Chain A
Amino acid sequence: MPSRRPIVKAKTTGSFENSNSQEPPKIPSQRPVRRTTTEIIEDNESDEDIIESYGTEDSKPSDVDDVPSIPRRPQRQGLLQESNDINKEEQSIAYINSIDSESSNKNEDTTSLKDVIPEQPAMPERPAKRETSEIFQHGSNMEKSEKKHTLSTTDVADEVQESPIIPERPMRKKSRETLSESGSSLNSPEHSDAIEAPQNVPEEDLTAPDSDVMTSEENYAVQKNESTSSNNSEEVERKRNDLQDESSPPLGETSVSMDPRDEEESRLIKNLEREGGQHTVKDQGNGILTEDQKVASLADLAAQQSTSLLSENQEQTALADLAAQKEIMGMALNDKLTIEPVETTISAKLSEPDISSPVELKDEKETSSSSSKEKKEESQTPTIPERPKKRAPPPVPKKPSSRIAAFHKLLERQQLQELNASKTSGGTEGEEKEDKSENVSEAVKTGKENSINSQRTEFARNLNGLFALPGMVPMDGALPKALGKNLSPPSENITSEEPVVTETSRNEVSDVRQRRARGPRGRKLPSSVSNVKKVVAENSTSSIEVFEVWTISNVRKAVAEQTREEATSAHSPFESEISEGYVVEEDGKEINTAQSEETKVTMVNGSPSETSSTEELEKTMSSDEENITEGVNHEEPSVTSISESVECRDENNQVEEAELEYETRAEKQMEEEILKDDQVLSDVE
């Protein structure tokens, strides 16, 4: 509150300064007055709404959606709860008066408000719109509902006749824009506090530039009244008298000097003052007479209203003076109840609903005051359907990254497809298919209960092929759905002139080996190919044969000698001497036979063969004799290996002896030759 007041003060003071340079010091005293009036008006929730609907629909019937004040209702209800009942009563009284004045302008019976309700014209509110637009032009950050509230109050008071100024629709749009911009803060309590400031502005603006002086003065007077109301009753009475003295002269001046339009505006201002005065009546109850008298005088000056209206006003003022506060409260409640149906009916008429609803509401309101609030809500129900439109947009969810959003969409589609497939039974939900998202959400809700387990499994299984990761091979050789859709031939959509009878397109990977159409017949191969002769590989005639080359057996010399001795003598110590024999294999592998063995093992091409018979041994021995010279074993070098021969040599001393003999022979021969040579030389010499 305090933070915003200075701003509004500056505006109001600015306007006052323009109007009257002497007044500015009094401005602070005026502001509370207006604030109180606005608060009073705000306190009455139903009245406010009614007036809003009245003003908007009357001015612009086509704009049914212009109910910007709806979101504020809870706040105002809070204010209503917080405010005093006295204020409500007084405000209701003020409305009664204003409605009576309207009804009197129309020359209708104002005895019963019910009769007035349907007959209230909706047209004369355009000036109010102009005022709102003007209010917004002044740059105040008012909310539209508040503006309309002020408008409605002014309209209900006296502005019905002030239709010459046509509201500027562009300005109204501008106000809407500002409203929409500030719509988010409608429900905030700060905003409700801020309502007070703009309400002062429109009331000031309501007065035309010509009547700024009037408004300032009159407001000043009203504020003074309020200030007195806050003091003791005696002071209040004194100041009331002063105020009468002060307020009457400017009113008279303005009324005399002004044009008819100015007169109307002054009348409007008077009504505002009258509301303020009644507000003071609520607060105090003592200064009512002065205010009522003032109102009566203003009404007389206007002189356009009917005498019946005046009488009713006077009666009401008298009632207000005489009746106790409790009675006034009761009146106020009743009047309030009566006013509400009026407004609802007006709105209903403008919005072209059935007439029955307001009538029913009227009857209900007459019954009891306790149920009035509930009925009030019921009466407001016609406007409720508009609320969703005016609600502030839901908070925008945080936007995930585009990939995740796309992923969510994909999941939704997937779920939708699965649920549609499995939701054959639950067809009732499919009736509402306005939005896919809604359907998806509903379907998901229902589907979860039914077959969530199976869906999970299916869902998880289906996800395997949905997302392609680097290095991921499509499952089962099939492409992913998205990719397959992308790659699917678009020919299905193509409508050729000739109807397609059957279409069997195969996107499979065909076998390359499958023959395709051969070329035209009669072609001849190109020269590079036709001259080619096939190279035939000839079979080779050579063949490989494997056969035995040789075998060798090495036997000791002693064995040979013994064989000789055996041959000479019949005695044959065969067995013992054979043991020292060696048989050498072809590959050089030595096989040493046991000394006591009678058998001799011979290896022929690696395959051992036993010769157990002595005859064979004799044959071999005899054959070996040929190879054995005296004292020396003649070994075929190709048969025995060097190592074996060396071993044999080492084992046989005969070999060494033989070698020694050879050496000695050689030496002797050498010596002889040398001697011969020496002899020859000596002979020669």
Chain B
Amino acid sequence: MSSEGDKYDAALDLLRRLNPVKINSNLQNVINLEPTLAEDLLSSIDVPLKISNDPGFSNREYLCCDYNRDLDSFRSPWSNEYFPKLSDDVLMDSPFPSESLRQLEILCNDSFDVYRDLYYEGGVSSVYLWDLEDDENAEDFAGVVLFKKSNKSKNHWDSVHVVEVVSTNGNTFQYKVTTTIILQLEKDDSESQKLLRLSGNLTRQTEKTLSVDANSLEQTHIAHVTNLGVLIEDVESQMRNLLETVYFEKTRDIFHQVRNGATIEDQLNQTAHAEVIKGLQNL
């Protein structure tokens, strides 16, 4: 526990095992325990996204996360301004994407807004891009693609795709996507005072090396958007299926183990199938 890395790992292990519904408070407590880990934990621990309105863009909604935050303000992808407004002194040091990257960010926001409309049929999406710190090549960049859909209740789906695009060889880029899906389902029956809650998060990483046509900046941007869109679409669909087929099904199995609601016929069918499978395995 002496080194900083061990503390960081311990904090991640701890937060992974704590109640995901209270991830904000738990994260704050861990940071209070070890403030030096605050920056790393804030950038690596995904919390449910917040929705803010952009007063500079007709109060259009945008999503807030650690990647578009500075102090207590969040940058809007629509107006490229921080809200609440920051002072000029602070704003001088606040992060903004470069001009070309801002163009790509606008394009990505428009594109993923269409994606969001198609797949989520509602919700909010935001894309934030930034230049990498140790950037030898100006073409490298990173970003985050956010989706959130929630209704008035506490149920929500949050997708956080952290993207890192690094030029490997000329026109080829390596896309590294770290996807986190935060899902919370809650059914509160106030009359019977019964609360059913199902929540959790799932994180996966995907890497792909794709080629980009670098004839012009606009084509490069379009290629980046295309590649990112395809990648995120795949990953998100895959993870959704994973949630549905593995986790929900496993939860369902557990639920049925706790209280078996199957009828006698179903049980007989299950036993018959089990016998068939057993016989086949004995072949």
Q: Which residues of A contact B (CB under 8 A)?
A: 403-404, 407, 411, 456, 459-460, 463-464, 467, 469-471, 483, 486-491, 494, 496-507, 509-510, 512-530, 532-535
**Is the Cβ of A498 less than 8 Å from the Cβ of B212?**
yes
**Is the Cβ of B95 less than 8 Å from the Cβ of A523?**
yes
The verdict on B150 contacting chain A, using a C-beta distance below 8 Å, is no
In Å, the complex CA distance between A484 and B246 comes to: 11
**Is the Cβ of A489 less than 8 Å from the Cβ of B234?**
yes
Number of A-B contacts (CB under 8 A): 165
**Is the Cβ of A467 less than 8 Å from the Cβ of B277?**
yes
Other than the given A505-B234, A522-B70, 17 more pairs (CB < 8 A) read A460-B281, A469-B277, A486-B241, A489-B234, A489-B235, A498-B213, A499-B211, A507-B238, A516-B44, A519-B43, A520-B131, A521-B133, A523-B95, A525-B71, A526-B72, A534-B34, A534-B36
List residues of chain A with CB within 8 A of the CB of B172: 501-502
* Cβ-defined partner of A512 (8 Å) among B16, B69, B257: B16
Question: How many residues of chain B have a CB within 8 Å of chain A?
Answer: 75
Report the minimal beta-carbon distance from A451 to chain B, rounded to whole angstroms: 14
**Is the Cβ of B204 less than 8 Å from the Cβ of A509?**
yes
The verdict on B199 contacting chain A, using a C-beta distance below 8 Å, is no
- The interface-forming segment of B47-55, B107-115, B225-233 is B225-233
List residues of chain B with CB within 8 A of the CB of A503: 208-210
**Is the Cβ of A470 less than 8 Å from the Cβ of B253?**
yes
* Cβ-defined partner of B32 (8 Å) among A456, A488, A494, A532: A532
**Is the Cβ of A533 less than 8 Å from the Cβ of B35?**
yes
* Cβ-defined partner of B242 (8 Å) among A464, A487, A514, A527: A487
Given contacts A471-B253, A503-B210, A519-B43, contact A496 B227 (CB under 8 A): yes
In Å, the complex CA distance between A521 and B141 comes to: 12
Contacting A at CB under 8 A, from B173-193, are 176, 178
**Is the Cβ of A528 less than 8 Å from the Cβ of B28?**
yes
**Is the Cβ of A464 less than 8 Å from the Cβ of B281?**
yes
In Å, the complex CA distance between A514 and B9 comes to: 10
**Is the Cβ of A517 less than 8 Å from the Cβ of B35?**
no
List residues of chain B with CB within 8 A of the CB of A488: 238
**Is the Cβ of B39 less than 8 Å from the Cβ of A525?**
yes
CB closest chain-A residue, reference B141: A517
A463, A517, A526 — most chain B CB neighbours (10 Å):
A517
In Å, the complex CA distance between A510 and B28 comes to: 25
List 4 tightest A-B contacts by C-beta distance, closest first.
Answer: A520-B95, A510-B205, A520-B130, A489-B234
The verdict on B12 contacting chain A, using a C-beta distance below 8 Å, is yes
Contacting A at CB under 8 A, from B23-58, are 28, 31-36, 38-39, 42-44
A-B contact pairs, 23 of them (CB 8 A): A411-B280, A459-B283, A460-B281, A470-B256, A483-B246, A488-B238, A490-B234, A496-B226, A498-B211, A505-B208, A506-B205, A506-B207, A510-B204, A515-B44, A517-B142, A517-B164, A519-B66, A521-B95, A523-B95, A524-B90, A529-B28, A529-B35, A532-B31
Report the minimal beta-carbon distance from A532 to chain B, rounded to whole angstroms: 5
In Å, the complex CA distance between A488 and B242 comes to: 10
In Å, the complex CA distance between A218 and B208 comes to: 94
Report the minimal beta-carbon distance from A237 to chain B, rounded to whole angstroms: 80
* Cβ-defined partner of B35 (8 Å) among A496, A504, A505, A534: A534
The verdict on B138 contacting chain A, using a C-beta distance below 8 Å, is no
**Is the Cβ of A512 less than 8 Å from the Cβ of B66?**
no
The verdict on B19 contacting chain A, using a C-beta distance below 8 Å, is no
Given contacts A502-B209, A523-B69, contact A517 B132 (CB under 8 A): yes
B66, B205, B273 — most chain A CB neighbours (10 Å):
B205
In Å, the complex CA distance between A491 and B94 comes to: 37
**Is the Cβ of A532 less than 8 Å from the Cβ of B283?**
no
In Å, the complex CA distance between A496 and B211 comes to: 10
The verdict on B217 contacting chain A, using a C-beta distance below 8 Å, is no
**Is the Cβ of B281 less than 8 Å from the Cβ of A527?**
no
In Å, the complex CA distance between A517 and B281 comes to: 47
In Å, the complex CA distance between A501 and B168 comes to: 12
**Is the Cβ of B162 less than 8 Å from the Cβ of A491?**
no
The verdict on B276 contacting chain A, using a C-beta distance below 8 Å, is yes
Q: Which residues of B contact A (CB under 8 A)?
A: 8-9, 12, 16, 28, 31-36, 38-39, 42-44, 66-67, 69-72, 90, 93-95, 97, 130-133, 142-143, 162-164, 172, 176, 178, 203-213, 223, 226-227, 230-231, 233-235, 237-238, 241-242, 245-246, 253, 256-257, 273-274, 276-277, 280-283
In Å, the complex CA distance between A105 and B67 comes to: 103
Report the minimal beta-carbon distance from A32 to chain B, rounded to whole angstroms: 61
Report the minimal beta-carbon distance from B52 to chain A, rounded to whole angstroms: 14
In Å, the complex CA distance between A514 and B40 comes to: 12
In Å, the complex CA distance between A496 and B222 comes to: 11
List residues of chain B with CB within 8 A of the CB of A522: 70, 93-95
List residues of chain B with CB within 8 A of the CB of A470: 253, 256-257
Report the minimal beta-carbon distance from B265 to chain A, rounded to whole angstroms: 12
Report the minimal beta-carbon distance from A635 to chain B, rounded to whole angstroms: 56
In Å, the complex CA distance between A525 and B132 comes to: 19
A460, A494, A521, A533 — most chain B CB neighbours (10 Å):
A521
List residues of chain B with CB within 8 A of the CB of A520: 67, 95, 97, 130-131
Report the minimal beta-carbon distance from B246 to chain A, rounded to whole angstroms: 8
List residues of chain A with CB within 8 A of the CB of B231: 491
In Å, the complex CA distance between A622 and B84 comes to: 92
Report the minimal beta-carbon distance from B171 to chain A, rounded to whole angstroms: 8
CB closest chain-B residue, reference A514: B205
**Is the Cβ of B208 less than 8 Å from the Cβ of A504?**
yes
**Is the Cβ of B226 less than 8 Å from the Cβ of A497?**
yes
In Å, the complex CA distance between A535 and B257 comes to: 46
In Å, the complex CA distance between A506 and B9 comes to: 23
**Is the Cβ of A510 less than 8 Å from the Cβ of B273?**
no
List residues of chain B with CB within 8 A of the CB of A510: 178, 203-205
List residues of chain B with CB within 8 A of the CB of A528: 28, 72
List residues of chain B with CB within 8 A of the CB of A507: 204, 206, 238
List residues of chain B with CB within 8 A of the CB of A521: 95, 130, 133
* Cβ-defined partner of A460 (8 Å) among B16, B205, B283: B283
List residues of chain A with CB within 8 A of the CB of B143: 517
Report the minimal beta-carbon distance from B210 to chain A, rounded to whole angstroms: 6
**Is the Cβ of A525 less than 8 Å from the Cβ of B90?**
no
**Is the Cβ of B9 less than 8 Å from the Cβ of A513?**
yes
Report the minimal beta-carbon distance from B144 to chain A, rounded to whole angstroms: 8
Given contacts A523-B95, A529-B31, contact A407 B276 (CB under 8 A): yes
**Is the Cβ of B213 less than 8 Å from the Cβ of A463?**
no
List residues of chain B with CB within 8 A of the CB of A518: 43, 133, 142
In Å, the complex CA distance between A487 and B202 comes to: 15
**Is the Cβ of B238 less than 8 Å from the Cβ of A487?**
yes
Report the minimal beta-carbon distance from B243 to chain A, rounded to whole angstroms: 11
In Å, the complex CA distance between A529 and B256 comes to: 44
* Cβ-defined partner of A517 (8 Å) among B31, B33, B163: B163
List residues of chain A with CB within 8 A of the CB of B213: 497-498
**Is the Cβ of A523 less than 8 Å from the Cβ of B70?**
yes
CB closest chain-A residue, reference B233: A491
In Å, the complex CA distance between A54 and B210 comes to: 70
In Å, the complex CA distance between A515 and B132 comes to: 14
CB closest chain-A residue, reference B177: A516
CB closest chain-A residue, reference B75: A520
In Å, the complex CA distance between A514 and B207 comes to: 13
Report the minimal beta-carbon distance from A534 to chain B, rounded to whole angstroms: 5
* Cβ-defined partner of A487 (8 Å) among B43, B241, B253: B241
List residues of chain B with CB within 8 A of the CB of A498: 210-213, 223, 226-227
CB closest chain-A residue, reference B273: A403
**Is the Cβ of B35 less than 8 Å from the Cβ of A532?**
yes
Report the minimal beta-carbon distance from B13 to chain A, rounded to whole angstroms: 9
Given contacts A486-B245, A513-B9, A517-B176, contact A500 B164 (CB under 8 A): no
In Å, the complex CA distance between A517 and B130 comes to: 10
In Å, the complex CA distance between A530 and B8 comes to: 18
**Is the Cβ of B207 less than 8 Å from the Cβ of A460?**
no
